[in-house]
């Protein structure tokens, strides 16, 4: 009854994933049943989803609207080079410092907060230009709510102005126009507005909804009007966030500080960050030791839209990495290990592609050999068959089996099922000539064990391991018994080594 078996497998899947694998026998048996039931694809997909769900950290589902509270906008300043982005950012920051107590030392942490007299706040991302913006977007991060497009009134619309508009449109982020350098005699703001019509940026004067503010970043003229236009737009966007539950955010910048180690600036997007929180980002994790704002002031809590410097990272995450809070250090380690493992898997996939090409070359070479020498022998014995044989004739450890000298007994161990399978598949295609035989005595998942060494000794075989370890004790035991253990991290190296072993042992080449 397939339904019954499938149901049973669903339950088993959970067991297997949480316990890794019960035993090779279980796994082989289950696979056998699945093959018979024709459910192989479903099974591996199910297993993968289950593993990801259990091991990786992901954003929570959308919050209940009742939990949402208003938040301030996060703004990126974009525009053509030399149109005044840096000057504008500096002036905005200084206005803020001047408004606060004198003597505050501003720190470059990738973002800063400007408070308006009305009490409203704006978070400005500190890295001007669309390079940073698109780099973040390429990593799937969307932190910006509003783009302030800076266009110099004497220069008008230029190449990077157009690119900036395109980036804002692609990200579906609305624009506030800052027509800069209005202090200059040759400034012509109206010309800027007219030029922008061609790029579908329609100012209010022309019946559109883009607010345009005439400013001079250099003199600091009209910057408050620009800030007010930004908050007015933010109000219309009804920006909201859920300040409760585990934190979600994005890394804006990260760097190593000599005294403090890895430091990141983050924009919090959900939840409230506090000292002691455990975070993961990219392939790094942190236990938050210290948090500070752009004035270097230590803060105890960071809310949605707030830029915050975070100290306590084990490694350096990258700009654009998603920050997620997890419940414990153990969980953080599990997530990071899983992400590293997944990356290795990806790397292995690339290796397999190279291998596949090599395999095709070999296959062609062997087809020719085959034509020349006739049928080839390739002996592959499964683990099950080996067990059958063992039952028929128990082997004493020291007793060596009589065998032809032109047979290479093999034991293959891999880190995961997929890698062992891949190696076996490749071996299958590397047909040996009729003079030599490969005898697969045993294969399986896991580190090299005493049992593997005993088998190798009994069969006078060689152990090949892929991405697995061998303890000192086992290594010593193997040395004593004269058993060769060969470990590899790259599949095609392992295969190459195997071929070498084969040709060194036998009077024929593969
Ligand atoms: P960015 O490349 O867009 O960051 O431009 P900068 O902020 O570096 O400015 C380029 C040049 O334009 C500098 O020499 C600034 O002093 C000058 N500048 C910036 N804003 C103004 C302004 O409002 N008026 C005038 N006259 N010059 C400005």
**Ligand 1 atom 18 nearest Cα:** 84
Q: Which of 41-50, 249-258, 307-316 has the lowest mean pLDDT?
A: 41-50
Answer yes or no: is pLDDT of 130 > 70.
no
Closest ligand 1 atom, residue 217 Cα: 23
Nearest atom of ligand 1 to the alpha carbon of 79: 3
pLDDT of residue 18: 37
Q: Taking Cα atoms as reference points, which of 239, 252, 215, 257 lies closest to residue 89?
A: 215
Single pTM value for the model: 0.62
Return the best residue to mutate from 80, 82, 131, 150 for the ligand 1 pocket (most ligand atoms within 8 A of CB): 82
Higher-scoring residue by pLDDT: 100, 459 = 459
What's the pLDDT at 445?
A: 83
Q: Which residues pair with 78 in a beta bridge?
A: 149
Mutate to test the pocket of ligand 1, among 77, 83, 84, 188 (most ligand atoms within 8 A of CB): 84
13 touches 50 (CB < 8 A): yes
Residue 201 pLDDT greater than 60, yes or no: yes
Pocket test for ligand 1, best of 81, 182, 218, 223 (most atoms within 8 A of CB): 218
**Cα of 51 from ligand 1 centre, angstroms:** 53
User: Cα-Cα-Cα-Cα dihedral of 21, 26, 29, 33, to 10°?
Assistant: -70
Q: What percent of the chain shows pLDDT beyond 90?
A: 44
- CA-nearest residue for atom 11, ligand 1, is 82
Q: Tell me how far the alpha carbon of residue 184 lies from the centroid of ligand 1, in angstroms.
A: 11
| Closest CA to ligand 1's atom 6 | 84
The percent of residues in the chain predicted with pLDDT above 70, rounded, is 70
pLDDT digits (tens, 9 = 90+) for 206-249: 999 999 999 999 999 999 999 999 999 999 999 999 999 999 99
Report the SS3 class of residue 37: helix
Among residues 291, 134, 152, 172, the alpha carbon closest in space to that of 216 is found at 152
Q: Separation of 147 CA from ligand 1 center, angstroms?
A: 18
Is there a contact between 410 and 441 (Cβ–Cβ < 8 Å)? yes
Of 64-78, 219-233, 406-420, 445-459, least confident by mean pLDDT is: 406-420
| Cα(24) to centroid(ligand 1), Å | 69
DSSP-assigned letter for residue 430: S
Residue-wise pLDDT tens digits, 131-144:
667 777 766 668 89
86, 87, 221: which to mutate for ligand 1, most atoms within 8 A of CB?
87
Ligand 1, atom 16: nearest CA belongs to which residue? Answer: 218
329 forms beta bridges with none
- Please report the pLDDT score of residue 401 as a whole number: 46
pLDDT digits (tens, 9 = 90+) for 276-333: 999 999 999 999 999 998 888 899 999 999 999 999 999 999 888 999 999 999 999 9
Who lines ligand 1 at CB under 6 A? 79, 81-87, 128, 180-181, 183-184, 216-218
Q: Which atom of ligand 1 is nearest to the CA of 88?
A: 7
Identify the CA nearest to 149 among candidates 175, 180, 184.
175
């Amino acid at each position: 009854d397939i339904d019954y078996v499938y149901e049973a497998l669903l339950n088993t899947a959970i067991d297997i994933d949480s316990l890794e694998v019960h035993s090779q026998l279980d796994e082989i048996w289950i696979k056998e049943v699945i093959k018979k039931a024709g459910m192989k694809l479903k099974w591996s997909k199910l297993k993968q989803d289950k593993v990801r769900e259990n091991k990786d950290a992901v954003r929570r589902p959308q919050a209940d609207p009742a939990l949402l509270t208003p938040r301030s906008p996060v703004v990126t300043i974009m525009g053509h080079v030399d149109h005044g982005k840096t000057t504008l950012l500096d002036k905005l920051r200084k206005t803020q410092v001047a408004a606060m107590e004198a003597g505050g030392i501003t720190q470059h942490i990738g973002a800063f907060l400007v408070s308006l007299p009305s009490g409203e706040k704006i978070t400005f991302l500190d890295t001007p230009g669309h390079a940073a913006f698109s780099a973040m977007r390429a990593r799937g991060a969307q932190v910006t709510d509003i783009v302030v497009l800076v266009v110099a009134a004497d220069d008008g619309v230029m190449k990077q102005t157009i690119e900036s508009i395109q980036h804002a449109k692609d990200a579906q982020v609305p624009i506030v126009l800052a027509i800069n350098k209005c202090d200059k005699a040759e400034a012509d703001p109206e010309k800027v507005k007219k030029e922008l019509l061609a790029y579908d940026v329609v100012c209010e004067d022309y019946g559109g909804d883009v607010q345009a503010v005439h400013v001079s970043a250099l003199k600091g003229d009209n910057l408050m009007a620009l800030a007010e236009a930004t908050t007015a737009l933010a109000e219309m966007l009804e920006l909201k966030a859920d300040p409760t539950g585990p934190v979600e955010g994005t890394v804006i910048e990260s760097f190593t500080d000599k005294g403090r180690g890895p430091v990141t600036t983050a924009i919090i997007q959900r939840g409230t960050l506090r000292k002691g929180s455990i975070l993961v980002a990219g392939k790094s994790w942190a236990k938050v030791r210290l948090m500070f704002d752009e004035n270097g002031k230590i803060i105890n809590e960071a809310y949605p839209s707030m830029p915050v410097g975070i100290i306590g990272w084990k490694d350096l995450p990258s700009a654009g990495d998603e920050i997620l809070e997890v419940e414990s250090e153990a969980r953080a380690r599990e997530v990071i290990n899983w992400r590293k493992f997944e990356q290795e898997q990806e790397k292995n996939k690339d290796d397999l592609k190279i291998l596949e090409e090599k395999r095709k070359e070999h296959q062609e070479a062997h087809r020719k050999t085959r034509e020349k020498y006739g049928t080839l022998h390739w002996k592959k014995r499964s683990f099950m068959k080996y067990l059958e044989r063992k039952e028929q004739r128990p082997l004493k450890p020291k007793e060596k089996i009589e065998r032809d000298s032109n047979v290479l007994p093999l034991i293959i161990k891999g880190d995961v099922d997929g890698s062992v399978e891949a190696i076996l598949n490749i071996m299958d295609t590397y047909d040996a000539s009729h003079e030599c035989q490969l005898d697969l005595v045993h294969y399986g998942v896991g580190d090299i064990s005493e049992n593997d060494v005993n088998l190798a000794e009994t069969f006078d075989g060689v152990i090949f391991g892929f991405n697995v370890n061998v303890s000192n004790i086992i290594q010593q035991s193997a040395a004593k018994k004269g058993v060769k253990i060969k470990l590899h991290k790259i599949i095609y190296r392992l295969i190459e080594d195997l071929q070498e072993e084969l040709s060194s042992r036998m009077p024929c080449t593969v």
